Structure 1
Amino acid sequence: MASNTIVTSGFQLVKQLQEWSKNNMRQESLFCTVDVADLYTMAPQTEGVLSLKKMLDYLRLKQVGGLKIETIIRLSRFVMQNNYFPYDGQFYHQVRGGAMGSPLTLTIANCYMIFYERPIIKQINNSGGLYFRYTDDIFLATNWPPRHLLKQIDRWNHFDENIKLSENMGSIADFPDLHIENRAAQLYTTIYQKPSYEPYYLPFNSIHPLHMKKNVVFTMLFRAIRYCSTFQHYLDEREKLRMALLLNKYPNKFTDEQFNNLLSKLNIIQPLTCNNYANYRQKVIDFPIKEKISVDYGKTIFVHFTYCSSMRTFPIKFHALWNKYFGESPINEVLPILGIRNAKNLQRQLIYTR
């Protein structure tokens, strides 16, 4: 129902904005971010559970995970209406909204918003605009005059007394980790970092497998290429990343190796320049995303071990022994997946309990 208007990353918004800007971007085009105030604690409990029931009925589901819909609704109602919390030596019963951080609260808030926003989405789409939502944050791209947009947001604020919208509009917007600009009818994007951002990543000298540290570098540079619409923006973000990695003890040689590894995997065979960046970036954006492979738990065994520096070669040895002793056995139909647990040390304990 809402899969076309809900985004879970800035990259999804980049792709949608690119398509929209080709035919719709004008010099007076507006970007507007709208915040839904206190969504989790303002959504009413009874109506929230009813919106969940309405969503399940719309999807025509009879069971979810072996549970009947009636059971899910009764359990959801019980959880929503039985949230308690201590404050200043007293216990309080939450009578409005749900507990912050609860997966159920997030699900019910999403369902509630989906039915609230349907007429807004229809209105925006009919006018040739864009509407996307990330949980309780809404992004709009439109060619409406500012006064008309403000008038419409005020009208939407009267759709539901539990939903209060506050807007921020202009030729520049930040949503959620993407910085967006309209410069003379041209779309510019780069990475947005909140004022509270601090360059803390997994330290290179921490006791974690090397592939995790490689993934930090790989993923951050991959995001920079996807988000940065100009070569200069890309260079700036790459150097920011390099400095942040240095602060986290990553050797320059290691960082450069991962940078080159990413470019190689993306089939970027030439050094990036201001002349070829746009073409290569578009190929990266169009690069097919691998679908998540579902796990067959009936034919999968998970093995966890505590990782330390002396266990670096354990996964290779484990799979070698597995193939040696079970290669010709029927048990070989079972796929072993190794997972790690971090070693319990004083530093980890202090971080966890502070």
Structure 2
Amino acid sequence: MMPTSTWDPTTMTDARIFQQLLDQEAKELQEKLTNLMVESIAEAENKILECRELLHKEIYRLSIYDKDIQEGFSEKLMDLIYRRVNIMNQKFDCISNFKINYYLRHHYDDDDDDDLQQDTLSIPSVSFSPTMIMGTPLHLLTEEQLKLLNRGPTYVPLCHAYVSSSSCVSMKEIIQKQYKVLQHHLSSLFQKCQMNPARLMFINNEIKNLYTNIFSISLPNSLRQRALYEKHLVQSIREHFKTHDLLLRRTADRRNVFYLAHRPEFEEKTNEYMKTTDTFELCKNINEENLQETRDYLTKMIKSLNEAFQEMFHGKTNKNVFDKLYITIDKVELPYLYFLPDISQKDDLFVQPVVVTQHSATARLAHFLDQLLRPVVERQLASTTFVNGADFIRKLNDYIEQPQHRLRPTTQFVTIKISNFYTMVAHGTMLIALQDFLTNYLIMPTINNISMGRIIRLTALFLHNNRFYYDHKIYRFAKGSPMSFPLTETLCNCYILQWQKLLVQQPLIRDQFYGRCKNHFIFTWNGTINEFQTMIKMIANQNSDIHLDVKMGSSVRFLHAHIENQNGTLYSRVYHESTIQPYTLPYVIGHAKVVHSHWFRSALIRAVRYCTSVHDFNQERIYLEMTCLANGYTLEFIEKQIDHFFKHFDAESLRSSLDQHVYNKLRRRLFNFISEQRNILETNREAEKKHERIRLSYLYEYGPKRQFHEQLHKILSTHLNTSTASSKQHNKLKLILTTKQPHSLNALLSQQKPKHELLNKNKLLL
């Protein structure tokens, strides 16, 4: 048994470095193998295109001959036909072998593992799939345990709720527990519709009976066996982590990859972060003796907030505002801090703090303030803001197409990243910036009848009361606020406005392309190097609190795009960060297959917008297809997404011929699609306000989902039509149902939430 009671960093260093080298070599080999597969796919597709072109030429040649001339098929065409039949047969064989041997990650079939291992085509020692990052050699995980962990934090073990409950829990009890999520969403919906209690009770019972009847079914034996196998595998991994003092985390880059660390080593990094950071401030140490005192301390904070709200918004005229802000003490949950591994630097491990703020004391206040401030701040920044990468690349293309803004052969691109964007200044400085902003840019002295003075005071209450738990201590934010609140970004945008105006007003930038997305800035530059260095030095000296990372060149990377000035011609393509493990899917929460299908479509759209060359787009398409294959998605899944994409945007001919002119039309179509998407989004928002578009989610693991969706839609359409709408509105009703799967590997194994009595639900203020 490996010793785990003590940890000696001097003896660990060599072993850890050796493990990292092994892990790096394995990943490099995996990447090379997958790249070779991508090259093979590209070569095969090119060969198919050549054969198709030859076939079309032969068909055209035959079509122009006189009908009276009896001429048989040429040798070339006959050879092409025979080769095509042979290729089709080989393709079916390859697909079959591919599915059996390289189902590159998930084995959802019932094939026997021993038979697979005996197959001469299998490669058991090397995987095409992305794998977990090994930050420590101190583990004895089995091959089966590693296979499960390599599926990543998104993966949901099959039917976990069905097999994790004790034998005394009935199926009915499991279903009733799962139904509570849907019941909560239905209650919110019916409250908005203002339905009478009798009808409300009738509808609730009807939907509950539907849910219970449809999903109260036993698992087939094959699914139950697999669910039990994965349950026991998860339990064995937990025990192994506990025995060997290991810690599992998803990576900070939001990819579907785990990082395995030795807990003492990881905690050394987190403790060092807490010692050196000026973002957090210690408020209180917690021990068994002062537990009640700590509860009283937190209760007093909440009561003082409510008293401040009462003082500012007393009276009937302000009751609506007060109700929005009032904190119900027994519904508050204490936020907590945990850390994710930041692997952006290959030579060292950094940690990224994450504060979980759901149901925190300041959550309602943050939402209220953001609704007030965001529209005002965004109006001032709209002309220079990129909503996302697609918006950026469209505006850049529109800019350089204007004759007066053509790229010169010497034009450079400049990118600036504010590395401390969310923690730039102390709260006092942030409040002064907010006051200056409101004074300078508000036409009226109020926003939605809330005075500037009250907005400043509410913001101060928000900034000063973001407390959280970490390592038996209570901390608060001394700079910035939790990134989970949209208000945090709104306040940072407000603060950065004056600095940005100073930059934009520089004479050498006024006529240049300029914009920003969050903490990333880009502009074109036609001045000299000395002029640029002088300007950047002056801008940096104006505000030493802002930490700048500046890059300039004829080619730069911005918002995952490679941008290049090729002698006065813009060239762009998708850029993949070298520090991110290739062929990885994003980390998602919810129904992974549905979310990843949306991601795949969005990634294809982004590829067209980013890639100026049809060949670069084609290469990116193959990369995306291989990413899905490497993560266990079927060829049928991929083909369905690809086929829908090209049909929807009227570009099916690109599947048979990489024509740059056709591709350019597709790019213009997809740039225009940005406006279409915004219009669709606005239409959907209006429909949701009128209850013509309804979003509901529920827990789901097994059962006839489609049947449930159809019958639920029928029930809601009937009753909402009867109670609030005409038959025309009834026909408009659109129900958006999404499923939740809470038992992901991340939830089951990462242990992000600390164990402490203050963090137990409903026990914070006992």
Q: TM-score, normalised by structure 2?
A: 0.42
**In the alignment, is the contact (CA less than 8 A) between 2:415 and 2:556 conserved in 1?**
yes
Task: Determine which of 569, 575, 585 is the counterpart of 1:186.
Answer: 569
Answer 1 or 2: which has greater helix percent.
Answer: 2
Q: Which residue of 1 aligns with 2:664?
A: 278
Shift of 1:87: 6.8
d(CA) in 1 for partners of 2:736 and 2:642? 27
Matched, 1:3 2:3: no
Shift of 1:98: 3.9
**In the alignment, is the contact (CA less than 8 A) between 2:615 and 2:658 conserved in 1?**
no
Matched, 1:215 2:598: yes
Secondary structure of 1:305's aligned partner: strand
Aligned residue type for 1:115 = Q
d(CA) in 2 for partners of 1:326 and 1:13? 42
Matched, 1:49 2:431: yes
Secondary structure of 2:382's aligned partner: coil
Residues 132-171 of structure 1 aligned to structure 2 (within 5 Å): 132-171=515-554
Larger radius of gyration, structure 1 or 2? Answer: 2
Matched, 1:254 2:640: no
**In the alignment, is the contact (CA less than 8 A) between 2:394 and 2:671 conserved in 1?**
yes
Task: Determine which of 316, 338, 346 is the counterpart of 2:710.
Answer: 316
Aligned residue type for 2:382 = S
Residues 333-344 of structure 1 aligned to structure 2 (within 5 Å): 337-344=735-742
Q: 1:296 to 1:267 in 2, by over 3 A?
A: closer
Q: Which residue of 2 aligns with 1:39?
A: 421
Q: 1:74 to 1:207 in 2, by over 3 A?
A: closer
Q: Which residue of 1 aligns with 2:456?
A: 73
Residues 289-308 of structure 1 aligned to structure 2 (within 5 Å): 289-290=676-677, 291=679, 292-293=681-682, 294-295=685-686, 299-300=690-691, 302-308=695-701
Matched, 1:13 2:392: yes
Aligned residue type for 1:347 = L
Matched, 1:345 2:743: yes
d(CA) in 2 for partners of 1:303 and 1:295? 17
The sequence identity of aligned pairs, in percent, is 22
d(CA) in 2 for partners of 1:209 and 1:99? 27
Shift of 1:42: 2.2
Matched, 1:25 2:404: no
Aligned residue type for 1:256 = E
d(CA) in 1 for partners of 2:743 and 2:535? 56
List gaps (5 residues or longer) in structure 1: none
Shift of 1:254: 2.1
Secondary structure of 1:181's aligned partner: strand
d(CA) in 1 for partners of 2:592 and 2:466? 40
Aligned residue type for 2:713 = H
Shift of 1:225: 0.8
Shift of 1:227: 0.8
Secondary structure of 1:157's aligned partner: helix
**In the alignment, is the contact (CA less than 8 A) between 1:31 and 1:140 conserved in 2?**
yes
Q: Which residue of 2 aligns with 1:173?
A: 556
d(CA) in 2 for partners of 1:336 and 1:351? 37
Aligned-CA RMSD value: 3.1
**In the alignment, is the contact (CA less than 8 A) between 1:188 and 1:229 conserved in 2?**
yes
Secondary structure of 1:166's aligned partner: strand
d(CA) in 1 for partners of 2:475 and 2:715? 56
Q: 1:138 to 1:326 in 2, by over 3 A?
A: closer
Q: 1:242 to 1:143 in 2, by over 3 A?
A: same
Shift of 1:46: 2.2
d(CA) in 2 for partners of 1:82 and 1:325? 44
**In the alignment, is the contact (CA less than 8 A) between 2:504 and 2:510 conserved in 1?**
no
Shift of 1:67: 5.2
81-90 vs 43-52, greater mean Cα deviation:
81-90
Secondary structure of 1:161's aligned partner: coil
Aligned residue type for 1:178 = A
Q: 1:68 to 1:262 in 2, by over 3 A?
A: farther
**In the alignment, is the contact (CA less than 8 A) between 1:45 and 1:98 conserved in 2?**
no
d(CA) in 2 for partners of 1:279 and 1:124? 37
Secondary structure of 1:128's aligned partner: coil
d(CA) in 2 for partners of 1:145 and 1:248? 48
Q: Which residue of 2 aligns with 1:201?
A: 585
**In the alignment, is the contact (CA less than 8 A) between 2:573 and 2:616 conserved in 1?**
yes
Secondary structure of 2:551's aligned partner: strand
Q: 1:69 to 1:352 in 2, by over 3 A?
A: farther
103-112 vs 314-323, greater mean Cα deviation:
314-323
d(CA) in 1 for partners of 2:393 and 2:431? 33
Secondary structure of 1:345's aligned partner: coil
Per-residue Cα deviation, 1:135-193 (whole angstroms, up to 9, x for no partner)? 22211112112221121111111222322323111011111211111111111111122
**In the alignment, is the contact (CA less than 8 A) between 1:30 and 1:169 conserved in 2?**
yes
Secondary structure of 1:31's aligned partner: strand
Shift of 1:48: 1.6
246-255 vs 46-55, greater mean Cα deviation:
46-55
d(CA) in 2 for partners of 1:325 and 1:88? 51
Matched, 1:111 2:494: yes
Aligned residue type for 2:554 = S
Aligned residue type for 1:15 = R
Q: 1:33 to 1:344 in 2, by over 3 A?
A: closer
d(CA) in 1 for partners of 2:473 and 2:595? 44
Shift of 1:63: 3.2
Aligned residue type for 2:624 = L
Q: 1:173 to 1:263 in 2, by over 3 A?
A: same
Per-residue Cα deviation, 1:276-321 (whole angstroms, up to 9, x for no partner)? 2223222322334332232466643654322334242122222223
Shift of 1:124: 6.0
Shift of 1:242: 0.8
Q: In the comparison of the two structures, how many residue pairs are matched?
A: 352
**In the alignment, is the contact (CA less than 8 A) between 2:590 and 2:740 conserved in 1?**
yes
**In the alignment, is the contact (CA less than 8 A) between 2:433 and 2:494 conserved in 1?**
yes
Shift of 1:54: 3.9
Q: 1:147 to 1:95 in 2, by over 3 A?
A: same
**In the alignment, is the contact (CA less than 8 A) between 2:412 and 2:554 conserved in 1?**
yes
List gaps (5 residues or longer) in structure 2: 1-379, 753-766
Secondary structure of 1:220's aligned partner: helix
Q: TM-score, normalised by structure 1?
A: 0.86
d(CA) in 1 for partners of 2:592 and 2:710? 13
Shift of 1:211: 4.5
Shift of 1:43: 2.3
d(CA) in 1 for partners of 2:526 and 2:489? 32
Shift of 1:261: 0.8
